[in-house]
Amino acid sequence: MSRASRCCATAGVLLLLLLGALPAGVSAQDAERDRLAPLTMEAPPFASFPAGILTGDDATLIYRLVLENREFGVPLAVRVISVPTSAARLPGPVPSQQEITKRLAAEWLANEPIESSPGADDGILLLVVIPADDHTQTTAAYATGANAFPQNGVTRPRLDAIVRGVMEPYFRADTVGTGIAEGTATLSYENLFLSSPRIEVTGARERLQTVANLPLAALAAASALALLGFAFWLNRRRGPAGSATGPLSPFAAAAIARGRVDDAVTTGAVLHLIELGALTPWTTPRGVTLAIGPAPTGADRFVVHVWDALRVEAQGEPPAVSPAAMRRLPDVLSAPRHELEDDVARRGLLNRNGKRETLWVGLACFIVLAVALYTLTPAIVGLARWGVFAAAFALVAICLTIWWLSHRSWATATGEAALRAWTPASVAERELYDTIVDQDDLLGLEGGRAATTRPVQLVRTLRGFGAA
């Protein structure tokens, strides 16, 4: 593996660690229960004090409706109490009956554990107060825990609207049981079918939203644009100009066509050595090996250097490259590959600064990704839409840049002109050139060991895509 590849791999590991660490902290802080999952609560669904205030049919219906709410995630309980007289008939200035009921409901919820789980503080209590002297003065109020909202389509204003618009008309008609049942059924419906309201941010979350929507979003968007601009500038630059001297070998021509001297070029040299009889592939139980034959005579200098590198790795008698060495051939053949790379770069055919520019672009991607993640995290917590959009834009810019980087050609204008003017000296040279340029097609063929031909198996072995 080259130094550039090692640097990119290290940066990739750091990015994955950063990507995994940040969202984990957020989810641990903001984890919430499933608001539509069935609940099993210890608090009784329905109770009246004294017992028997409502008819048996009404009490049974209310009990079932509360259970229905709990089946769809609402931690609801209904309590009905009877008082001797309505507040309107008490002497002196007193709070309204509705105000008294609200206070009683809040006090009741504070003293009875009505919640989805211990400590959740998300319960919803419906308290109904029936004056014994006048049932038409019945009042009701909902008390909710600090963490009761958001609860799907249920909100504090909608709870109050259920009391006023659904339940109170029945109370005035002296049908208290029906009013409670209708109100409980309406709560179940709104929880299931009404859309959740927009969460209003306050306090620290509001400040976080402002920061994520303004400076962080601007920073993420600016860094993404800078990354795209840097990549566009490098693409237009295409490396320093030069003047090609000397004829092109099939390997140099193939390197220009592929855009760089990669493993396909050295693999082509190995295949060429096999054709010359300087190498002989054979299969062992441990995998494919290459037996070293006589040195190639009259071959290209690059081919000779590839043979020398393989001969150094050979062991045994007759000498052969072991299966273990076959698995690390890209490193074994790095020296001749770099020599060919330096030669074509010196002649101005490939951009000499291609590796350095790749590292700079990789570093820029890392920086933009860090900015995007540190924008996305507070944007999610603070519900900052522009922060989320800016972070998403930055991530898209990174993906596009990496795609461009993987397909980028290091060939210069001089190299492309030399390739257009190159004419193979023989059919064998043309076939060798095609073998290198079209080599990726062999890697994409489907089929296992038995379904592929020996050349395909060998190319996959030499390229590190699985031993034959």
Report DSSP state, residue 199: P
Task: For strands 76-83 and 320-321, give the pairing.
Answer: unpaired
Beta bridge partners of 290: 281, 321
Burial class (CB in 10 A: 0-12, 13-18, 19+), 84: exposed
**Mind listing the pLDDT tens digit of every residue in the chain (468 residues)?**
444 445 444 444 444 444 444 443 333 333 467 777 888 899 999 999 999 899 999 999 999 999 999 999 999 999 999 999 876 666 656 688 899 999 999 999 999 999 999 999 999 999 999 999 999 999 999 999 999 987 888 889 999 999 999 999 999 999 999 999 999 999 999 999 887 766 666 677 788 888 888 899 999 999 999 999 999 998 887 655 555 567 889 999 999 999 889 888 988 898 899 888 898 887 777 767 888 999 888 778 999 999 999 999 888 888 888 877 887 887 888 899 999 999 898 888 888 888 888 999 999 999 999 999 999 988 988 888 899 999 999 999 999 999 998 888 888 888 888 898 998 888 988 988 988 888 877 666 554 444 455 566 677 767 765 443
Q: Selecting from 3.40.190.10, 1.20.140.10, 3.30.530.20, 3.10.310.50, what CATH number does the domain 46-193 have?
A: 3.10.310.50
Task: For strands 124-131 and 139-144, give the pairing.
Answer: antiparallel
Rounded distance between C-alpha atoms, residue 347 and residue 422, angstroms: 15
- Which candidate, 46, 53, 45, 55, places its Cα nearest to that of 130? 53
Give domain limits for the chain. 46-193, 204-246+353-437
454-462 helix and 263-276 helix, angle to the nearest 10 degrees: 130
Tell me the pLDDT tens digit for each residue of 315-342: 888 888 887 788 788 788 889 999 999 9
- Asked if residues 355 and 325 have their Cβ atoms less than 8 Å apart, the reply is no
The count of C-alpha atoms lying within 13 angstroms of the C-alpha of 453, restricted to the half-sphere facing its C-beta, is 4
Rounded distance between C-alpha atoms, residue 49 and residue 60, angstroms: 15
- Which candidate, 328, 333, 279, places its Cα nearest to that of 305? 333
Rounded distance between C-alpha atoms, residue 320 and residue 279, angstroms: 9
Tell me the pLDDT tens digit for each residue of 149-169: 878 888 899 999 999 999 999
pLDDT at 316: 82
263-276 helix and 250-258 helix, angle to the nearest 10 degrees: 150
Rounded distance between C-alpha atoms, residue 48 and residue 129, angstroms: 10
Q: Give pTM, 2 decimals.
A: 0.56
Scored b (16 or more CB within 10 A) or e, 192-212 reads beeeeeeeebeeebeebbebb
